[in-house]
Chains A and B, each alone.
Chain A
Amino acid sequence: MKLSKIFFLLFIILNFFSICHAEKNDQLTIKISKNLRCLTCQGQSIYDSQSDFAVSMKILINKKIEQGLSEKEIYELLKDKYGEWIVYDTNFNRNTFILWGLPVLLFFLGGAIILRKLVFRKV
């Protein structure tokens, strides 16, 4: 495990000087920061905000990427620290299955009603 981490770090360091990678990192930082809520502002993402909190978060995200953490790991890290509130992309879990399920359920229910009405009439 440790060996793989070292390899991974080496890999990152080797790539570090190539501009391509830096740009990729930037894009990833943007992508991640768009998906995080700024906790000190009202309803803005970290990407949109210029508050102290948002600025320091952006630096943190950048650091974590450089350390080789994946997007998902960064989300998990921040969730542990600040709670689920911080990520805009909620997972499917015990608390959110209704959120994800209900619209789709309603869609099929609506389809069933329409179909029944039409078929029922045709008979």
Chain B
Amino acid sequence: MLANHIGHYSLVIGLLTSILIFLLSLKSYKSQIIDKRIFSISFLQLFFVLISFLSLVICFVISDFSNETVFNNSHTNKPIFYKISGTWGNHEGSLLLWLLVLTLFLFLFLINSKNELKRYRILTVVFQQVIIIGFFLFVLITSNPFNYLFPIPMEGLGLNPILQDPALAIHPPILYVGYVGSSLIFSATLAAVIENYISKNWAKNIKIWILISWIFLTIGIMVGSIWAYYELGWGGFWFWDPVENVSLMPWICLTALLHCILVLEKRELLKSWTIILSIATFTLSMCGTFLVRSGILNSVHTFANDPSRGIFILCFLFFLIIIALIIFFIFNKDKQKDYKKIYFFSKEVSILVNNWFLMYFLSVVLIGTLYPIFLEVLIDHKISVGPPFYNKLIVPFLIFFLIFMSLGPNLKWIKETNIKNKFQLFIFFFISLIISFIIYKKIGKTNLINTVLIAASFYLFIVTIKDFFSKELYNISKKLSHFGFSMLILSILLNGILSTEAIINLKVGEKFTFKNEQIFFKSLENNQKENYQSVVGYFKVEDDKKNISLFKPELRIYDQPVVITSEADIKTTFFRDRFLVMNTIKGNEYFNVRYQVKPFMIWIWISTLLLAIGGFLSLYNRLYEK
């Protein structure tokens, strides 16, 4: 009750501070002196949003059902951990979290940009406040987390059980930090355009924010995939589902920006392109929020949505894009009269090629996600764009991308580079072709494109390993990330072609043979847990060499709301995952059992982590340098 009111009023006060900061910064922009009060009020704003967020958490913890959000998404017998994570497991709460991260980032920017241009700092605050005000209004008008219910219900409706999972508890906050980070890049870019401050120094400073967003987006996407892998119960980790795509698009764009900013930093080239990428990244993040929240998408992940909210975000998004475009066309003075020579075989060109391919992948994902929506609206014809589409359009280009990626990082800035060790590189390519040929021979399939693709990824893998152990140590972060990426592609591919599975209906006491393994359904066990009833199946899997392992897949029948979920049992080893999941068959004593052997599964996660660690090292270097 009390927490509810406190939360609501601090949100309103937060909006007022926002407007105050906006006006104050406009004033200081004119007078060219930063008003000291901006700092204190920014802190106050952060404080009030934090209070508001915490009071929502408290409402969830004490199960205060006079709050509509709590009523809709919680239940008294839910474990405390999921009561807390339930705070951002719904639309209203997640927007409050957006707002919290927005204000936090702005505050961090303010206190960390002391040695930058004053007017640029103030303008960044102005733009960021516009975004913050927009989100305040969005929260207060269309999705207030503190709506009051009377009479107070005795019990809540409960949280979707599929969301009651540790990975999904931390997935949204991490992803949001990534999304929201792009808003600061957006504001800072617009400010820098107006002040004509797009320069080496600016690139150096903004790179920190790009890295932060990028790291969090990478990890956020990874956690989401891990969740999909073990929770959705089909052993896949990426389905090219619209909601997954929506998180991938800003990531691709940010990756392009991360490379492009290097060129700006080293050579002051590609200014306009950097600006466009910054705007695009934020637009894609906002689009993501719009698409997920509006309910336009048909997806596994759309848990809460409402069309009227979509319209608000759409209008707000258009408003921001129009402002951005106006500023870009009026103020951008990237005429580049100074003549700079560019050589074909130089690092800047290789980064340009990288951006070129990344933009292509982005356009594939973007068009694949949006096209069905437009087609349905325009001619009322429903089509599905699924994995085959993405595979067909991405795979052929990925081959060239991987080869360029193995060569590019060894080129030098500015100078025309003669590739040394041409012979060595050629040998490497030959080796990778042979390896991939052998793999295909072994599994008895032949597919030209896939053979070449695997060869290309092995090539990148070998070259990045070679780079890793070679001479200069100074750019360890880049090497690590590139190595991680090569390993990621390689393990995804190998996992894809080497995975085997069996689907069979079994009842207790039956067994079946799969390849060289015997799967025996021993028994069933019923348990009553805190907020669900669990049915555990015991499976004994025995291979030729008498290695026995016991699988305990579980079915959970949740009380509130009544939903059946199946928890897979996964045995992870260094080289392969074994995945066993069971499902009920209606009106039958049989269970549908799915047994999968998935090689190199864990390497997908490890390599994504390496990718992120590379980014983190780079960030650490940046901060340490300063």
Contact = CB atoms under 8 A, between A and B. Distances in A.
A103 B341 contact: no
A77 B428 CA distance: 48
Interface stretch (A1-9, A10-18, A63-71, A93-101): A93-101
Nearest to A50: B583
Interface in A103-123: 103-104, 106-107, 110-111, 114, 118, 121-122
Interface in A49-92: 50, 52, 55, 83-90
Interface of A is mostly: helix
Nearest to B235: A48
Contacts, number: 111
A110 B501 CA distance: 42
A90 B243 CA distance: 19
A103 B385 contact: no
B617 interface: no
Contact of B371 (A41, A42, A84, A98): A98
A104 to B, nearest CB: 7
B503 interface: yes
B471 interface: no
A47 B359 CA distance: 32
A24 B368 CA distance: 32
B477 to A, nearest CB: 27
B237 to A, nearest CB: 12
A85 B586 CA distance: 27
Contact of B382 (A52, A83, A89, A98): A83
A102 B363 contact: yes
Contact of B385 (A88, A104, A122): A88
A25 interface: no
B384 A86 contact: yes
A99 B368 contact: yes
Interface centre among A35, A55, A106, A122 (most CB of B within 10 A): A106
A43 B397 CA distance: 27
Contacts of A121: 339-342
Interface residues of A, number: 39
A83 B509 CA distance: 42
A47 B386 contact: no
A85 B503 contact: no
Interface string B322-356: 00000000000000000111101000010011001
B298 interface: yes
Contacts of A100: 389, 393
Contact of B298 (A34, A43, A104, A122): A43
B20 interface: no
A95 to B, nearest CB: 6
A106 B362 CA distance: 11
A111 B360 CA distance: 10
A99 B387 CA distance: 14
Given A35-B388, A42-B300, A106-B359, A118 B382 contact: no
Contacts of A96: 371, 383
Given A48-B234, A102-B363, A106-B363, A85 B385 contact: no
B389 A89 contact: yes
Contact of A103 (B234, B236, B367): B367
22 contacts: A30-B501, A30-B503, A35-B386, A35-B388, A41-B300, A43-B243, A43-B297, A45-B239, A48-B239, A50-B566, A85-B384, A87-B384, A87-B386, A88-B385, A88-B387, A95-B375, A95-B379, A95-B381, A102-B363, A103-B360, A114-B353, A121-B339
Interface of B: 232-234, 236, 239, 241-243, 297-302, 339-342, 344, 349, 352-353, 356, 359-360, 363-364, 367-368, 371, 375, 379, 381-389, 393, 397, 501-503, 566, 583-586, 592
